[in-house]
Amino acid sequence: MNLAGLPPLGLKAEKPVNGTAACKRHMAAVAALPCLACGVHGVEVHHEGKPRSDMRVLPLCPRHHRREYGPGAYHYSPKAFYAEHGDSKLLLAKVADMLAGEFNHIRRQS
């Protein structure tokens, strides 16, 4: 029992550490997806949130990722990007859905 009189919560699941094989596989899978903003292929993997985690990444084309492309790019104005495309939680959920769809598509082809 803890100070609140509750039993222990048990062991917590370990989170993948950046640079591990699981993280590298996840980032490679995300890099193969189309841009979340416009759907084109040829994306850069954007780390989402702090602390940075290789498991929380978004596929963004250079036009929607890099500051030098101006309005519409994440690094030009994250606030404007989120206002147009949804918040971090929604975008990460979309990536998870896209990966699940890709996985199911590959399994059906086998």
Q: Domain ranges for the chain, please list them.
A: 21-109
Q: Is the per-residue pLDDT at 44 higher than 60? A: yes
Per-residue model confidence (pLDDT) at position 24: 93
And the tokens for 58?
């978004």
Beta bridge partners of 44: 60
Contact status, residue 34 vs residue 59, Cβ threshold 8 Å: yes
pTM: 0.77
Show the DSSP H helices in 1-110 as ranges: 21-31, 62-65, 78-85, 88-109
Q: Is the per-residue pLDDT at 14 higher than 70? A: no
And the tokens for 109?
């082809």
Residues in the chain: 110
CATH topology of domain 21-109: Herpes Virus-1 (3.30.40)
| 69-97 pLDDT, tens digit each | 999 999 999 999 999 999 999 999 999 99
3-state secondary structure of 49: coil
